[in-house]
Amino acid sequence: MFLDDPGNVANILDELIKGDKVDTLLAYQVAFDLFENEYQPFLLNVRDSLPDPQTTSSSKMVVEGTVTSSIENDSSVGNVETSAANSPLTGAGVLLDGTAGRQAAEDTTSTTEHGSSSSQELSVYADRMVKLKGILSGETPIHLALQFLYGRNRSDLLTLKTIKQSVEMRNSVCHSATIYANALMHAGTTVDTFLRENLDWLSRATNWAKFSATAGLGVIHRGHLQQGRSLMAPYLPQNGGSGGGSPYSEGGALYALGLIHANHGEGIKQFLLESLRNTNNEVIQHGACLGLGLAALGTADEEVYEDIKSVLYTDSAVAGEAAGIAMGLLMVGTASEKAGEMLAYAHDTQHEKIIRGLAIGIALVVYGREEEADTLIEQMTRDQDPILRYGGMYALALAYRGTANNSAIRRLLHFAVSDVSDDVRRAAVLALGFVLCSEPEQTPRIVSLLSESYNAHVRYGAALAVGISCAGSGSSEAVSLLEPLTSDAVDFVRQGALMSMAMVLMQTTEARDPHVGTFRRQLEKIVLDKHEDTMSKMGAILAYGILDAGGRNVSIMLQSRTGHDRAMAVVGMAIFTQFWYWYPLIYFISLSFAPTAFIGLNHELKMPKFEFISDIRPSIFSYPPPTAPPSTSSNIKLPMAVLSTSARAKARAKKEVDSKASAGKPLPREVNTNLSSDSSGSTEGTEKDLTTTTRDGDAMEVDTGPEKKATNAEPSSEVLSNPARVVPLQEKYIKFPEGCRFAPVKKTPSGFVMLRDLDPLEPVELVSTNAPSTGLPSSNVGATVPANSMPVDDEPAPPEPFVYVP
């Protein structure tokens, strides 16, 4: 893969699937591991280098045709022999012909058997080839991941409801942030219940907020490749042109299509191209450019490039910014000469938005090129325009992503403390997170001094650098560095720190790190506080979305499990950080989400039922408990109000008691009643005295009934069933029990794992999957919610049978 030799990889995979079942499993496992690296152009080249199953089936037809003709010959020979036997002419010649006929029939039978076995082999090979191509194209793994995220969705709708109620209607920033948080919480789950339940509230979004709200559906339905276009049909431009609806919702729908088909856009690319060509509206062009960039990520398609370039040359600020980013997405990692073209146009235009879009686009073009990109990086970092120097920081970050290169770190630190532009300084510190993403333990140490800088932009950059490189690690060093920044004096620093803390603590439980509970309470306090700054409130709302992303079943992974960089994830995170200037780019963070799942598959790519062990306490890696709804009745006993007249009546009664007690007269009944509280108090006092006296001596034995046993101790391990949620830090604790029918092909039990069946003669029980609904869901609010998405109280059991006696 690193040598960019798809032909050789295709030959190896082809040889493997011609072998036995174990070799085929190995071929599938290699294909799944290649898919995890998300290098789309390479995967498509490998797929196209493999032989076509159609050719195989046609050769199979040729074999079958030969066999059929042989059988016909066989029957004719048999007829000749029969007629010869019945003929009155039983001469030597006729007998000789009959013997020859029998010999020919035997030869034909052996040919038939050989032909049928070879045709069977060919059909098995064709079937395996189809499955292999399905993995390499992404169809199979995306479908399996979609089933997993839908079936295991544990998103907490009560949290979203609380956020919605606490956000002021007039505050459009927080309104949009809630829509973003909902999209991230349900990323890839296809569950859009929150939106359906709050249509009136959602309709308050106008203009670009409407664009973002529509695009959010793309994040929720990401990976729904078969039904993506029909899901978005109500919002899309009709017949490629404008459908007469709002251009904001149409542009958002095109962006959503790109998010649904991100990195796998063969089926949607043509429609997006037509939509781009048939409109002159800059909002629709903006959405179409972003959608095209996502769908054709890294393919370097010339036709798409030319169409996007024509949009750029219209010199429209809104469309031009998206066109610049889209050109970078299209050419990501190619180090194409077109980067020079983009840089030249950035010098010519007067629009800051276009310059910024092109600067980020150029940075994407040199993704992963290291020293090869140094000339272009030097040119950008020496430019007089601070926006191009800003792009130079991202070019350094992406060219040296995950390398921890000393030269790149030194250059970034130099700009972080010396550049005159705050934007450039912020980007330089933030870029350290990308360069060090392969060594997350180093990042807090390197940026610790910068996190205490007098410059708020540098502190913000330090916070995001730690969040990006330590995402999903639960690192205690990262948490201790971010904690003081979450209560910084500057609102946008608090915003960045809250979001970064959420990235670090993704899928971390309170049992493993008590900071998680503290952090959730802090988020709740910020969201509910009406006097909190809008910026930090937005940060808290987005932090909720990141913390519980993908139904609590995904984590941010910038590297695959095999240790290679996930290009789409790094690119998505880099563009996500541009939300500082343009909020709709927040959705790009969904590209860096990866399901934390163990999905075991047999040779038919089906999920067999079996169990394995997580050898650690369940609470360490369990789902967080759902938010408890506010209780209607309070159990706290409030102090009783005492009226002054009652107090005077009690005092009088007490005087009467004292006077009559001294006279020795019996007390009236109403006085006894008034004194009930006093007598109970005196009894309590007596009990206290008794307790005190018995403490020193032997304690008085009291029969308190059977002792309550302490709560059951937590088990030291947990049994999981296929497929299961397995957090990256949990992988080392996964074990297969003795006598387990299935054994994994690879050692690391995570992601997509091919399983060898050790008892192939026994029938296999498969996992029943509840796939997401196809097409547009019905208007019923609960139509798209899986049965286990939210905990529901069990129904009470019916009463026992009884006979009614009047």
Q: What digits encode the pLDDT tens for the residues 458-491? A: 999 999 999 999 988 888 899 999 999 998 899 9
Give how far Cα 574 sits from Cα of 308, 583, 722, Å. Answer: 21, 14, 34
Residue 662 has a pLDDT of 63
Q: What is the pLDDT of residue 663?
A: 59
Length of the chain as a residue count = 806
Tell me the three-class secondary structure of 701-754, residue by residue: CCCCCCCCCCCCCCCCCEEEECCEECCHHHHHHEECCCCCCEEECCCCCCEEEE
| Owner of token pair 């059977």 | 706
Exposed/middle/buried for 398, CB within 10 Å: 0-12, 13-18, 19+? buried
| Residue 328 pLDDT grade (very low, low, confident, very high; cuts 50, 70, 90) | very high
Report residue 643's pLDDT band, with 50, 70 and 90 as the boundaries: confident
More confident residue, 350 or 665: 350
Task: Band the pLDDT of 289: cuts 50, 70, 90.
Answer: very high
Three-class DSSP category at 532: coil
Distance CA 153, CA 662 (A): 76
Spatial strand order of the sheet with 597-601 comes to 724-725, 597-601, 751-757, 742-744
Write down the pTM of the prediction: 0.79
Bridge partners for 556 per DSSP: 593
Q: How does residue 786 score in pLDDT terms, banded at 50, 70 and 90?
A: very low
pLDDT at 81 over 70: no
Q: How far apart are CA 462 and CA 485, in angstroms?
A: 10
Q: What is the pLDDT of residue 294?
A: 92
pLDDT digits (tens, 9 = 90+) for 415-457: 999 989 999 999 999 999 999 988 888 889 998 898 888 999 9
Over the chain, what is the mean pLDDT?
A: 79
Could you report the per-residue pLDDT of 253-285, keeping only the tens digit for each?
999 999 999 888 888 888 899 889 888 889 999
pLDDT (0 to 100) of residue 268: 86
In this structure, are residues 475 and 441 in contact, taking their beta carbons and an 8 Å threshold? yes
Torsion of CA 577, 581, 582, 586, to 10 degrees: 20
How far apart are alpha carbons 539 and 337 in whole angstroms? 39
So what's the pLDDT on residue 773?
54
**pLDDT of res. 641:** 67
Q: Report the pLDDT value the prediction gives residue 783, as an integer from 0 to 100.
A: 35
The pLDDT of residue 84 is: 38
Q: What local confidence, expressed as pLDDT, does residue 772 receive?
A: 65
Whether residue 135 is predicted with pLDDT greater than 80 in this model: the reply is yes
- 136 vs 24, 42, 505, CA distance in Å? 14, 10, 32
- For the chain, helix (H) and strand (E) counts, in that order, are 34, 9
Phi and psi for 405 in degrees, rounded to 5? -65, 125
Percent pLDDT > 70 in the chain is 79
What per-residue confidence (pLDDT) applies to 116?
Answer: 60
Can you give the pLDDT at residue 456? 92
Query: Residue 612: what pLDDT?
Result: 85
Rounded distance between C-alpha atoms, residue 495 and residue 577, angstroms: 12
**Residue 428's pLDDT is what?**
94
- pLDDT (0 to 100) of residue 685: 46
Amino acid residing at 651 = A
Task: Give the per-residue pLDDT at 642.
Answer: 66
Q: In the predicted model, what is the mean pLDDT of residues 773-787?
A: 38
Q: Which pLDDT band holds residue 788 (cuts at 50, 70, 90)? A: very low
The answer to whether 190 and 772 are in contact (CB under 8 A) is: yes
Q: In angstroms, how far is CA 475 from the centroid of its own chain?
A: 20
Residue 631: the pLDDT is 55
Which pLDDT score is estimated for 88? 35
**Which pLDDT does position 804 carry in this prediction?**
76
- Residue 219 and residue 187 in contact, taking contact as beta carbons nearer than 8 Å: yes
Q: In this structure, what are the phi and psi dihedrals at residue 35, rounded to the nearest 5 degrees?
A: -60, -40
Between 722 and 587, whose confidence is greater?
Answer: 587
Q: What is the mean pLDDT of residues 53-68?
A: 46
- Please give the pLDDT value at position 463: 93
- pLDDT at residue number 225: 83
How far is it, in rounded angstroms, from Cα 599 to Cα 719? 15
* Structure-model confidence comparison of residues 186 and 171, the more confident one: 186
Neighbouring C-beta atoms of residue 98, cutoff 10 Å: 19
Which pLDDT band holds residue 771 (cuts at 50, 70, 90)? Answer: low
Over residues 534-543, mean pLDDT: 91
Model pLDDT, residue 504: 92
> Whole-angstrom Cα distance, residue 756 to residue 736?
13
